[in-house]
Amino acid sequence: MIDIKTVLVSDAVDQACVKLLEENGIKVDCKYKLSKEELIKEIPNYDGLIVRSDTKVTADVIEAGKRLKVIGRAGAGVDNIDIKAASAKNILVLNTPGGNAISACEMTCALITNLARNVAQAAESMRAGRWDRKLYAGHELYGKTLAIIGLGRIGKEVAIRMQSWGMKTIGFDPIVPAEEAKKFNVESMELEKIWPLADYITVHTPLIPATKNMINEKVFSVCKPNLRIINVARGGIIDEAALLTAIKNGKCAGAALDVYEQEPPTSAITKQLIQLPQVVATPHLGASTGEAQIRVAVEISEQFIALTGKSKNYTETPGIVNTNVLSNLK
């Protein structure tokens, strides 16, 4: 049982989060868009912190949190939280691993179909008063091979939906056994075998050292020249400079990007990439649905309440990232 009396919410979350916490006796303050210095000044007053992706919970912030016991991320990725620093101070880090899975999956599927049929480009052409029917002729997804890198909740849902379009699904995940992947009709194989086979590649992994620039110049050199690639996961998994070069040199036929190495994009390379006609770019909309926002808000608050041990209704904490800390607290 963890004593959580006060929680700071530093990024905008659905009010369902605040309501549920307060109904269970936890005081909540919402203070958005704090600078690092302001957050360091505020954090000593709180037992818990809830963030989305904007707040960067650095080692300095964690060090200042003298009362801090738990950090919750209302979403899946936790790359904006220094987990090593939190673990060193026995501070739990939580996320909501399934809360935005359906929304991110549907966004991925929408971008795949956009790449096949040039929907975004054709719509822009029409707005400009043109009738570019031949220019934006596309291709069928039926019979094409979709490679899914990361076969967790989102990757699995993408596979199921795109199979209904007649796509063959192959994939890689170091954690999901081949037998498990086979249950949802994905043929599991090593990355080196995947690259030459894929017509489409979609990535659904966290951004960790092993996945940083996973899709790079070497990968593009062995892929089909008509490859199309989608990233609704994390910026940095695809090497943006390599992607820019591959598209310009005809090594990659197109890309759909919802996430970037810096957000909002600031580098010249990313800005060039976004301007290419073969690229569909969106501003990190993967989890931006009303349903997902409510779901992650409720799920993170439920886990905070469960940690207090005071509720019979909320007892599960499926989003604990640093489980070693939980064992230290017992």
Q: Catalytic site residues? A: 234, 263, 284
Q: How far apart are CA 269 and CA 249, in angstroms?
A: 15
Q: How many CB atoms within 10 Å of residue 31?
A: 12
Give the amino acid at 56: K
| Interatomic CA distance for residues 305 and 312, integer angstroms | 10
Give the DSSP letter of residue 214: -
Half-sphere exposure at residue 19, Cβ-oriented, CA atoms within 13 angstroms: 7
- What amino acid occupies position 328? N
Look at residues 317, 85, 321, 106 and name the one whose alpha carbon lies nearest to residue 206.
321
Residues 151 and 14: their CA atoms lie apart, in Å, by 28
Measured CA distances, 119 to 39, 61, 113, 145, 259 (Å): 43, 44, 8, 21, 20
**Helix (H) and strand (E) counts in the chain:** 14, 12
